[in-house]
Structure 1
């Protein structure tokens, strides 16, 4: 491991001096790519990005840095702390992004999330934004408010890992003073694919706006917010997200004529994740 972490690389940007730095785990993933490229990404909101991922990111923009870290390995602890040294904030996206075997989920999503939170604590990072999921509350009835202050109801091992991350955020806010925002992301893709997606879609542009608000908005301890666009058919209100300064610009309704029927079982937030034997 080098001084800046294993495989550290950067694209120099003399104009970036003095801007706050955010470490983005999973920076080479699809949401991480949105945060780099859509509407200028987080850089357009004044941030310098330090990407952390097990997958190489070769297309670094000016001012971006990259450190290769596999969160499932013990070596990740020191690499993460080095990458976070001097950083102002962390966005934790890295995870297995769907249902899987419990032991795989535990290694990547539970142990890996702990490593990120604890490295942030050790490095003195002020704010951490955690990519949670609607699957942390997947057994709530679809269309009901599923309040952010209510009990979690995960719909599988993936949802369980996100509920763990939210609980860890609460612990690290109360015990160590971190400012933590957990984003219960709906479905963040270029466009919604079905009727369920029309309710829970988060557009790439709104993803950038949501994370930017979570990085800079007023936070007292641990805050949970829903991450969706201003959808006409939205299942959840955005009051908590708007309190951070989030101003969504997109509405899934423009894709309503192209959306297919929702996958079974209908009536639950988690959709197919709530099936007893959801395929990995």
Structure 2
């Protein structure tokens, strides 16, 4: 499948969306931007849609004529179920319906490690390859937010089987300019590696629904990146240069602490809550 040129980026005003707005055009993509909030700093001439995912008319207009969709929109922390339902569950359904109606055949869905957040984290540094968490590990969401990502993955599978829409669901770790916690040393994805992975997911010749983990090639990696590599992803970065300072400030992870013992970290105990 040739690399699509016109890509609808939902969640374009968010943290990850802002990073990808700056990085993906270098791969040849013409980005169309969608967010419920105004997209500050959008390039001159960019098509920008300011609307909610439940606005089906606006969503269908935004989807019309694109080659692929990168779906980053939605609530990215824990929130009351009613808010998660509207934004992450109903909103993702509306997106897939718009894709079906407009015959868009490739979606990259921003899933999350929190879909499997109660999976015990593997031990060791580095973790032996046979102990890395596989993508087919049973889903164990740690929050309503994580539950919404399980729904998104199942919805992607349904639309692949029923309507022939390809999806790559990327279980993202933490995509920031640099890791900020000891846990993040294992799940960090540099913005540059994020762009490499999303480009691979947008352009790979896969069919159906594929789930991969999204992180850099960290020395302290907890999960199996072989699925992402099979798409053509070649991570270039490693969190290890940040390890000494973070461990000195925060200490090593304590396996007896529930916030350290499971993949989802703090989401398994007192998850950060969406502010509205």
With normalisation by structure 2, the TM-score equals 0.88
Pick one of 50, 67, 83 that aligns with 2:49.
67
Instruction: Give 1:247 deviation, angstroms.
Output: 1.0
Pick one of 95, 115, 131 that aligns with 1:136.
115
Q: 2:6, 2:194 → 1: CA distance?
A: 18
Instruction: Name segments (4+ residues, structure 1) moved above 3 Å.
Output: 261-264
Question: Is the 2:143–2:268 contact (alpha carbons within 8 Å) kept by the matching residues of 1?
Answer: yes
Instruction: Give 1:278 deviation, angstroms.
Output: 3.9
Q: 1:168, 1:145 → 2: CA distance?
A: 26
- Corresponding residue number in structure 1 for 2:67: 88
- Corresponding residue number in structure 1 for 2:165: 178
- Corresponding residue number in structure 2 for 1:6: none
1:109-124 map, 5 Å: 109-124=88-103
Pick one of 210, 214, 225 that aligns with 1:223.
210
Alignment partner of 1:50 is 2:32 = yes
Secondary structure of the residue that 1:155 maps to in structure 2? coil
Q: 2:210, 2:178 → 1: CA distance?
A: 27
- Corresponding residue number in structure 2 for 1:252: 239
Listed one character per residue, the Cα deviations across residues 154-176 of structure 1 (whole Å, up to 9, x for unaligned) are: 01101000000000010011110
Pick one of 78, 94, 119 that aligns with 1:99.
78
Number of aligned positions between the proteins: 255
Instruction: Give 1:218 deviation, angstroms.
Output: 2.1
Pick one of 10, 13, 21 that aligns with 1:36.
21
Q: 2:102, 2:19 → 1: CA distance?
A: 26
- Corresponding residue number in structure 1 for 2:222: 235
Instruction: Specify which structure has the bigger relative contact order, considering alpha-carbon pairs within 8 angstroms and separated by 6 or more residues.
Output: 2
Task: Say what the alpha-carbon RMSD is for the aligned residues.
Answer: 1.5
Gapped regions of structure 2 (runs ≥ 5): 123-130
Alignment partner of 1:270 is 2:264 = yes
Secondary structure of the residue that 1:215 maps to in structure 2? helix
Q: 2:132, 2:81 → 1: CA distance?
A: 29
Secondary structure of the residue that 1:129 maps to in structure 2? strand
- Corresponding residue number in structure 1 for 2:192: 205
Question: Is the 1:48–1:63 contact (alpha carbons within 8 Å) kept by the matching residues of 2?
Answer: no
Secondary structure of the residue that 1:195 maps to in structure 2? coil
Question: Is the 1:49–1:63 contact (alpha carbons within 8 Å) kept by the matching residues of 2?
Answer: no
Gapped regions of structure 1 (runs ≥ 5): 1-18
Listed one character per residue, the Cα deviations across residues 35-66 of structure 1 (whole Å, up to 9, x for unaligned) are: 111xxx11111110000001111322256321
Question: Is the 1:53–1:67 contact (alpha carbons within 8 Å) kept by the matching residues of 2?
Answer: yes
